[in-house]
Amino acid sequence: MSYTAGIIGTGGIAGMGILGMHDAEDIGKKKVRASHAGGFDATDGIDLVAIADVDEEKLETFGTAWDIPDDRQYLGHEAMLAAEDLDVVSVATPSYLHHRHVVDAAESAADPDVIWCEKPIASRVTDAKEMIDVCEREGTELVVNHSFRFTEKLQRLHDLIHDGGILGDVHSVNAQFRMELLRNSTHLLDTLVYLLDARAERVAGYITGENEAAESLGAGREVDDAGGGGFVVMDDGTFTTVDCTIPRADSSMAFTFIGSEGKLYLNNDDGEWRYWRLDDGEHVEEPLPGIDDAWSWDDDYEQAFPNAVEHLVAMLDGEAENPSTGVDATRSLEIIVGFYVSHYANGQVSIPLDRPLQDVEITSW
């Protein structure tokens, strides 16, 4: 059986290049594999048949690049959702539009079985909760594209930590990544909650007020999203420090996990994953079983998109469960909002957020 897909939003992550990831002169002009369209193109059993955008020029450029017929290029998502019968709808628009586009898709005549929404899930927790509720009511699976979850190395590492017990009880984690908590470092925080299988319980945060992407990548839009960090106490007792204050040129995506049975160092930018087993009080370095080399942007990240679409097809076939739910994605959003509330209120914040704090909006792209 062959399934059909449509994409709302024809910008960078949809298939035309991303700030900071691709050559500036290619962005918006050439199609890229590490994208929603790239994932559909690389996967058997599903076809990208329709696209929608409010920008007619972007719509036509994308349609030409990805061979979408003129009559299935829609000016505005409402037109596509009214005219098409789709199995999957990708939401690849700026984060502040995710709420509207996911809800509209779930309630539309297109009647998708799966909505594949870009990260972060939303700009505020209230919106994320409504997206989850509407999709559940309409019988639609909401899959959030925290793409690291779709990489084989990270999946294997998750199993080693939880089934293999390589760390024992995790006591502390240090996590560090680039600036922009919502747009960028949501990957870091989702990886944290994924590998720990835990949810934040208490946070204290610091916000720099600086947006490195706006300055060095020419994003050209003033937003709340900024560098920051703080500490996070997870509901399993793990104490975590998060540093997302360092600009791109200086930073790496790195974690250090300390547990009762071992320690683990992951650096995805420098290509170094190392593990030490704790043996009679001494740390003894060993290879990670079943993992060759470190995670990389060039290989693992790019392959995450075809992997994700393969998983969507397996979900449609009834052979797989959702690996990146809206509930999962809200866990990283809660931490980010908690950092902001903590910074401006000069105090610690409990998770889950009290109802009024769920309405705090962090604007981003």
Say if residue 167 is in the same domain as residue 105: no
Amino acid 60 reads: E
pLDDT grade, residue 34 (50/70/90)? confident
Q: Work out the pLDDT band at 220, boundaries 50, 70, 90.
A: low
Looking at the structure, tell me whether residues 159 and 236 fall in a common domain.
Answer: yes
Same domain for 224 and 90: no
By residue range, what is the domain housing residue 95? 3-145
| Residue 78 within any structural domain of the chain | yes
One domain, residues 175 and 124: no
pTM above 0.85, yes or no: yes
Q: Which amino acid is at 151?
A: T
Which CATH number do you get for residue 26?
A: 3.40.50.720
Query: How confident is the model over 291-318, as pLDDT tens digits?
Result: 988 998 888 988 999 999 999 999 999 9
The position carrying tokens 């994953």 is 273
335 occurs within a structural domain = no
Q: Do 264 and 186 lie in a common domain?
A: yes
309 assigned to some structural domain: no
- Whether 307 is in a domain gets the answer no
158 and 128 in a common domain: no
Query: pLDDT tens-digit profile of 158-213?
Result: 999 999 999 999 999 999 998 899 988 999 999 999 999 999 999 999 999 988 77
Domain assignment present for residue 134? The answer is yes
Domain end, chosen from 294, 322, 345, is at 294
CATH code (residue 284): 3.30.360.10
Residue 17 has pLDDT above 90, yes or no: no
| 137 and 54 assigned to the same domain | yes
Q: What is the pLDDT of residues 248-258, one digit of tens each?
A: 888 899 999 99
| Domain closes at, from 125, 145, 165 | 145
123 and 228 in a single domain? The answer is no
In a domain, 140, yes or no: yes
Q: Residue 319 is encoded by which pair of tokens?
A: 């052979």
Q: What percent of the chain has pLDDT over 90?
A: 82
Compute the average pLDDT of residues 17-24: 53
| Residue that terminates a domain, selected from 116, 145, 174 | 145
**How remote is the C-alpha of 354 from its chain's centroid?**
24
pLDDT at 217: 55
pLDDT of res. 11: 83
Percent of the chain with pLDDT over 70: 93
**Cα–Cα dist 36/298, whole Å:** 16
- The tally of domains found in the chain comes to 2
Q: Please check whether residues 239 and 178 belong to one and the same domain.
A: yes
The answer as to whether 127 is a domain residue is: yes
pLDDT for the residue 23? 57
Does 36 share its domain with 111? yes
Q: Using one digit for the tens of pLDDT, what is the confidence trace for 47-81?
A: 999 999 999 999 999 999 999 999 999 999 999 99
Residues 178 and 272 in one domain: yes
Same domain membership, residue 167 and residue 76? no
Position 316 in a domain: no
